[in-house]
Amino acid sequence: MTSFAPRATLNHYDADHFTVYHPPVVEEILIDQIDFLTTHLL
């Protein structure tokens, strides 16, 4: 997989399909997304 997406990251969250939209999980996901985008786009 790394040959197709060398900058990819894989994060696991202790959540199911619906709990990802509620605190505190949504906050963890947003922090990780912002960190990834800041690292790779700026």
Tens of pLDDT, residues 1-42: 667 888 788 899 999 999 999 999 999 999 999 999 999 898
Torsion angle of C-alpha atoms 14, 17, 18, 20, degrees rounded to 10: 50
Task: Give me the pLDDT at residue 22, please.
Answer: 96
Whole-number pLDDT of residue 6: 81
Residue in the structure block whose two tokens are 């912002």: 34
Chain centre distance of CA 3: 20
Q: What is the pLDDT of residue 42?
A: 83
* pLDDT for residue 7: 79
Ranges assigned E (strand) in the chain: none
**What are phi and psi for residue 3, nearest 5 degrees?**
-75, -25
Q: What's the whole-model pTM score?
A: 0.78
